[in-house]
Amino acid sequence: MDSHEDGRPPIQQDGGFDTVGSIATNVADGFTMAAVGDLLFARPVTKGYHPGLADVLRIFDKADVVFGNLETNILDVQSKGSPQAEYGGAYCISAPELGRDLKTMGFNMLSRANNHTLDWGVEGMRETTRALDENGIIHAGAGENLAQAGAARFLETSRGRVALVSFATTFSPMSRGCNPAGDAPGRPGLNALRFTTSIVVPPEMLESLRRVREVLPGYNPAGQDSSRVVLGGVTYKAGNKAGYSFETDPRDVAGILRNVRQGKQFSDFCIVTNHGHEPGEWSQEPPDYEQSFARRLIDAGADAYVVHGPHLLRGIEIYKGRPIFYSLGNFFCQDLRSPVGADMFEAYGKDPQVDTDAEVTVDEVAKGYPTAAGFVGPQSDAVYYESVVTISRFEQNRLAELRLYPIELRRSNRFANRGVPRLAPAAQGIAILERLQKLSKPFGTEIAIENDVGLIRLRPSSAQ
């Protein structure tokens, strides 16, 4: 087949499905996606003194899409918004100037569905929308109702149109958007993927829990599922390895898959993104549901699936020539935030009449970052300040090369100056990439390290 004049492949007569069964990309050769993890901003940075930040931002220079997860609200709290009773563990907020700052850094697509979307209420969500819209940044995942929050949003580039679908598995209950029903209006909020959580225990432990349940007042044996035990509102089931298991809500799954399918039908390249902390921020492995669901998303039309939320790196999989990032950790993580709500002072045993915003947020960081699996000692939280910038280049309808640039977020700085990325020193960068090699190996992904950069190369016919 001949190509379009702009280098894009022709539209196929079979509806656009490629030889491996998923919907084909339709971007021009050389299309490049830069993707990073969480953007936990407290203040604009491009005019500040942050040696090395410019070197990181230069990596974005030739990318068609620069994507990250905006895990903050952009507003002037003196005139809009208020700290909500239900929040995502911290009241994330940044000044109105952040919208311009994000554009200056090169970001042109951001996800919005996460556990901080409504930290400052519907007003805070709307002010964030306004700040991004004024700066021409495409965003998805939050809206005036579920349909708006779940819909794909589109970016026009010289190599093709890009869609973004954003959802969250970790969110506060009051932030979930819903659609109108009869006379009831829709509810503003985020695009949620709900699930049921079970704790997996050895069979003999499940039997012990069953005996405990049977002696408790109010126990009714009728209709009990022999494969699981519900005790105190917690579901337990038997398995070979203790841990947590997640069953996704089929209604939410159906809605997300439909939005992905429609997003791809109207675009040349579709990014799907999830904000999820599961099974916990201590885990370097994704939750048990995620690999199969990630593959369903790609089969539905996603060209890349990007996860953020655990604040540390997880492995990379290549499925049918498309990248799956099981977590990209933090790209920005400014630990000191102001203002914070009175509820947060109370949660950490602080007094807003005595303690400062900085003191309560430092305490939140100290208690909020658990020890990651496999890391012990005083440096155990360092993995939350280490990540990569990913650059995915596509040729012939699939991923041709993926570059991984290791970064670190100045963990050794005083708290007021932490969280702004710079390229990791050579030894630290190699350690980050070697950890990512190990985490990606179970997915069959081989990462080479060349000139202090991680590299995944795929042959044109490669499909995993």
The single-letter code of the amino acid at 409 is L
User: What is residue 376's predicted lDDT score, i.e. its pLDDT?
Assistant: 62
| DSSP bridge partners of 192 | 168
Res 225: pLDDT: 85
* Helix residue ranges, H only, 44-112: 53-57, 98-105
The string of DSSP letters for 383-395 reads GGGEEEEEEEEEE
Lowest mean pLDDT among 48-52, 87-91, 452-456: 87-91
Query: What's the pLDDT at 297?
Result: 98
Determine the pLDDT at residue 87: 77
Let me know: does 12 contact 5? Beta carbons within 8 Å: no
Do the Cβ atoms of 297 and 260 come closer than 8 Å? Answer: yes
CB-based contact 369:281 (threshold 8 Å): yes
Tens-digit pLDDT profile for residues 24-63? 788 999 999 999 999 999 999 999 999 999 999 999 999 9
The label of the residue with tokens 């799956």 reads 324
* CA-to-CA dists, residue 420 to 62, 80, 306, angstroms: 22, 27, 21
Are 295 and 321 within 8 A, CB to CB?
no
- CA geometry: angle at 331 spanning 171 and 191, to 5°? 25
Q: Is 201 helix (H, G, I), strand (E, B) or coil?
A: strand
Rounded Cα distance, 286 and 373, in Å = 12
Query: Around Cβ 176, how many Cβ atoms within 10 Å?
Result: 21
Pairing of strands 398-408, 386-395: antiparallel
CA dist., res. 315 & res. 327, Å (int): 7
For residues 227, 230, 236, 238, the Cα torsion angle rounded to the nearest 10 degrees is -20
CA pair distance 245, 197, nearest whole angstrom? 6
Contacts 24+ apart (CB under 8 A), 409-415: 409/330, 409/332, 409/333, 409/385, 410/385, 411/381, 411/382, 411/385, 415/335, 415/336, 415/358, 415/361, 415/362, 415/365
pLDDT digit string, tens, across residues 180-231? 999 999 999 999 999 999 999 999 999 999 999 999 998 888 878 888 999 9
Q: Which two tokens stand for residue 97?
A: 């100037």
Q: What is the mean pLDDT of the chain?
A: 91
Burial class of residue 459 in the structure, from the number of CB atoms within 10 Å of its CB (0-12 exposed, 13-18 middle, 19+ buried) = exposed
**Residue ranges of domains in the chain:** 31-193+249-457, 196-243
Q: Tell me the per-residue pLDDT of 336-384, one tens digit each, with 9 for 90 and over.
A: 889 999 999 998 999 999 999 999 988 888 877 777 777 766 557 899 9
Higher pLDDT, 221 or 117: 117
- Per-residue pLDDT averaged across 74-102, rounded? 91
Task: Enter the pTM of the model.
Answer: 0.93
The values of phi and psi at residue 54, to 5°, are -60, -35
pLDDT in tens, 96-108: 999 999 999 999 9
Tokens of 361: 């947020």
Structure tokens at 351: 């007094």
Specify the CATH number for 31-193+249-457; select among 3.60.21.10, 3.60.70.12, 3.40.50.300, 3.30.1360.80. 3.60.21.10
pLDDT tens-digit map of 299-341: 999 999 999 999 999 999 999 999 999 999 999 999 888 999 9
Q: Tell me what the mean pLDDT of segment 114-123 comes to.
A: 96
Q: Please report the pLDDT score of residue 11 as a whole number.
A: 41
What is the spatial distance between Cα 314 and Cα 312, in angstroms, rounded to a whole number? 7
Of 264, 268, 263, whose CA–CA distance to 10 is shortest? 268
> Under DSSP, is residue 115 helix (H, G, I), strand (E, B) or coil?
coil
In this prediction, residues 163-190 reach a mean pLDDT of: 97
Q: E strands, 75-183, where? A: 93-94, 109-111, 138-140, 142-143, 153-157, 160-168
List, for residues 288-297, the tens digit of each pLDDT value.
999 999 999 9
Residue 420 has pLDDT above 50, yes or no: yes
pLDDT of res. 393? 97
Kindly state the percentage of the chain with pLDDT values over 90: 79
